[in-house]
Amino acid sequence: MYDYAPAVIEVARGDTVDIEVAATDVVHGLYVEGYDVSVTADPGQSARLSFVADRPGTFRFYCSVSCGPLHPFMSGRLKVGGNGLFWRAVGLTLIAAAAVLLLRLE
Ligand SMILES: [Cu+2]
């Protein structure tokens, strides 16, 4: 109640995020700001939420069901990092450029 575990979720941009929300006490929800997706889980049940993290940044997620006095404080953060494929491509290009330079020096 009033807490998410983990409270911080980190993914890479472009990842398909599959969140399973398990409510261990009362009905809880999870709404992700910026992505405008939400899910509600009944007590003792779990519910799934799936979306593609196509926007980088840090987004707040919070409970969408009024679950008690501390409900407004039930929140966490979703961190969507850089595009892994893009940086891998940049890294490969740099390695290729370095290889060309080495060949020229010989
Ligand atoms: Cu709540």
Cα of 63 vs centre of ligand 1, distance in Å, is 4
Share of the chain above pLDDT 70, in %: 95
Distance from the alpha carbon of residue 30 to the mean position of ligand 1, in angstroms: 8
pLDDT at 4: 93
pTM of the shown model: 0.75
Q: Give the pLDDT confidence of 37-46 residue by residue, as tens digits.
A: 999 999 999 9
Q: Which positions of the chain have pLDDT values less than 70?
A: 83-87
d(CA 83, CA 45): 34
Q: What is the distance in A from the centroid of ligand 1 to the CA of 71?
A: 4
| Amino acid at site 94 | L
Residues belonging to the chain: 106
Q: Which residues surround ligand 1, an ion (CB under 5 A)?
A: 63, 67, 71, 74
